[in-house]
Chain A
Amino acid sequence: MDFDSYDLDPIFYDEMFLADGSSRVACRQLHEALLDLSAEELASIQERVTRSFSNEGITFTVYGDAEADERIIPVDCVPRVLSNADWRHLESGLAQRLRTLNLFLEDVYDEAKVVADGVIPADVVYSCPQYRTQMRGFSAPNGTWVSICGTDLIRTNDGFRVLEDNLRVPSGVSYMIANRKAVKARFRHLYRTSRVQDVEHYGSILLETLREMSPRDHSSPSVALLTPGVYNSAFYEHMFLAGEIGAYLVEGRDLLVDGGIVYMRTTKGLRRVDVIYRRVDDDFIDPLAFRPDSMLGVPGLLDAYKRGNVALVNAPGTGVADDKSVYAYVTDMVRYYLGEEPILENVETFLCRRPEDLEYTLDNLEHLVVKRVGESGGYGMLVGPHATPRERREYAKQVRADPADFISQPTLALSRSPCLVGDRFEPRHVDLRPFVLCGRETRIVPGAFCRVALRRGSLVVNSSQGGGGKDLWVLEE
Chain B
Amino acid sequence: MLARSAQGLYWMSRYLERASHLCRLLQLQTEALVDRPIREIHFGWSRIYGSVSRQPPVGDLDWIDSDDYTLADSYTLADDLTFERANPGSVWSCLALGRENARQMRQCISAEMWTHLNLTYLRVQKLEIQDIWRVSPESFYAETVEESETFAGVAAATMYRDEGWRFVQLGRAIERAQLTTLLLLSQIEAGERAEHHFDADWTSLLRLYHAFEAYSRRFSVEVDPGQVLDLLATDPRLPGSLCRSLDSAAAELAAIGAGPHPGASDATRRLAGRLAALVNYDWPDSEDREALLRQINRYCWDLHQLVTDTYFDYPVEDLSTL
User: Chain A: residues with CB nearer than 8 A to chain B?
Assistant: 54-57, 230, 239, 242-243, 248-251, 253-254, 256, 258, 261, 263-272
Asked if B3 contacts A239 (CB within 8 A), the reply is no
Asked if B2 contacts A266 (CB within 8 A), the reply is yes
Known contacts being A266-B1, A269-B321, A270-B319, is A249 close to B107, with CB within 8 Å? yes
Known contacts being A269-B319, A272-B321, A272-B322, is A254 close to B103, with CB within 8 Å? no
CB distance from A82 to the nearest CB of B (A): 30
Known contacts being A265-B3, A268-B322, is A230 close to B103, with CB within 8 Å? yes
- Interface residue from B103, B118, B259, B321 paired with A271 (Cβ < 8 Å): B321
CB distance from B3 to the nearest CB of A (A): 4
In the complex, A250 Cα to B4 Cα: how many Å?
A: 8
Name the residue of chain B whose CB is nearest to the CB of A246.
Answer: B107
A55-B115, A57-B118, A249-B5 known; 15 new pairs, CB 8 Å cut-off, are A54-B122, A55-B118, A56-B114, A56-B115, A56-B118, A253-B4, A265-B316, A266-B1, A267-B311, A268-B259, A269-B322, A270-B260, A270-B319, A270-B322, A271-B322
Ranked 4 nearest A-B pairs via Cβ:
A269-B260, A243-B107, A265-B3, A270-B321
Name the residue of chain A whose CB is nearest to the CB of B166.
Answer: A267
Asked if A243 contacts B106 (CB within 8 A), the reply is yes
**Contact string, B97-119, partner A, CB cutoff 8 A, digits 1/0?**
00010011011000000110011
Asked if B321 contacts A263 (CB within 8 A), the reply is yes
In the complex, A251 Cα to B119 Cα: how many Å?
A: 27
In the complex, A117 Cα to B173 Cα: how many Å?
A: 70
List B contacts of A269 (CB < 8 A). Answer: 259-260, 319-322
In the complex, A239 Cα to B114 Cα: how many Å?
A: 13
Tell me, yes or no, whether B242 is within 8 Å of chain A by CB.
no
CB distance from A51 to the nearest CB of B (A): 10
Main secondary structure on B side of the interface with A = helix
CB distance from B320 to the nearest CB of A (A): 7
List A contacts of B119 (CB < 8 A). Answer: 55
CB distance from A115 to the nearest CB of B (A): 43
Asked if B106 contacts A239 (CB within 8 A), the reply is yes
B:272-322 near A, CB below 8 Å: 311-312, 314, 316, 319-322
In the complex, A253 Cα to B3 Cα: how many Å?
A: 11
Asked if A251 contacts B4 (CB within 8 A), the reply is yes
List A contacts of B312 (CB < 8 A). Answer: 267
Asked if A242 contacts B103 (CB within 8 A), the reply is no
In the complex, A272 Cα to B118 Cα: how many Å?
A: 34
Known contacts being A55-B122, A56-B118, A263-B321, is A256 close to B6, with CB within 8 Å? no
Identify the interface centre among A57, A267, A272: most chain B CB within 10 Å of its CB: A267
Known contacts being A239-B106, A242-B107, is A264 close to B321, with CB within 8 Å? no
Name the residue of chain A whose CB is nearest to the CB of B2.
Answer: A248
**What are 18 contact pairs spanning A and B, CB under 8 A?**
A54-B122, A55-B115, A56-B114, A56-B118, A239-B103, A242-B107, A243-B106, A248-B2, A254-B4, A265-B314, A266-B3, A267-B3, A267-B163, A267-B259, A268-B259, A269-B259, A269-B260, A270-B319
Name the residue of chain B whose CB is nearest to the CB of A264.
Answer: B2
Identify the interface centre among A261, A266, A271: most chain B CB within 10 Å of its CB: A266
In the complex, A14 Cα to B107 Cα: how many Å?
A: 40
**Contact string, B105-149, partner A, CB cutoff 8 A, digits 1/0?**
011000000110011001000000000000000000000000000
Asked if B104 contacts A230 (CB within 8 A), the reply is yes
CB distance from A56 to the nearest CB of B (A): 6
Name the residue of chain A whose CB is nearest to the CB of B7.
Answer: A267
Asked if B106 contacts A254 (CB within 8 A), the reply is no
In the complex, A55 Cα to B121 Cα: how many Å?
A: 10
Identify the interface centre among A253, A263, A268, A270: most chain B CB within 10 Å of its CB: A268
Name the residue of chain A whose CB is nearest to the CB of B321.
Answer: A270
List B contacts of A243 (CB < 8 A). Answer: 106-107
Known contacts being A56-B115, A267-B256, A270-B316, is A254 close to B321, with CB within 8 Å? no
CB distance from A120 to the nearest CB of B (A): 42
Name the residue of chain B whose CB is nearest to the CB of A261.
Answer: B321
List B contacts of A261 (CB < 8 A). Answer: 321
- Interface residue from A57, A254, A265 paired with B114 (Cβ < 8 Å): A57
Name the residue of chain B whose CB is nearest to the CB of A251.
Answer: B4
In the complex, A263 Cα to B322 Cα: how many Å?
A: 9
CB distance from A18 to the nearest CB of B (A): 43
In the complex, A267 Cα to B314 Cα: how many Å?
A: 9
List B contacts of A56 (CB < 8 A). Answer: 114-115, 118
Identify the interface centre among B106, B107, B312: most chain A CB within 10 Å of its CB: B107
In the complex, A270 Cα to B3 Cα: how many Å?
A: 10
Name the residue of chain B whose CB is nearest to the CB of A239.
Answer: B106
List A contacts of B321 (CB < 8 A). Answer: 258, 261, 263, 269-272
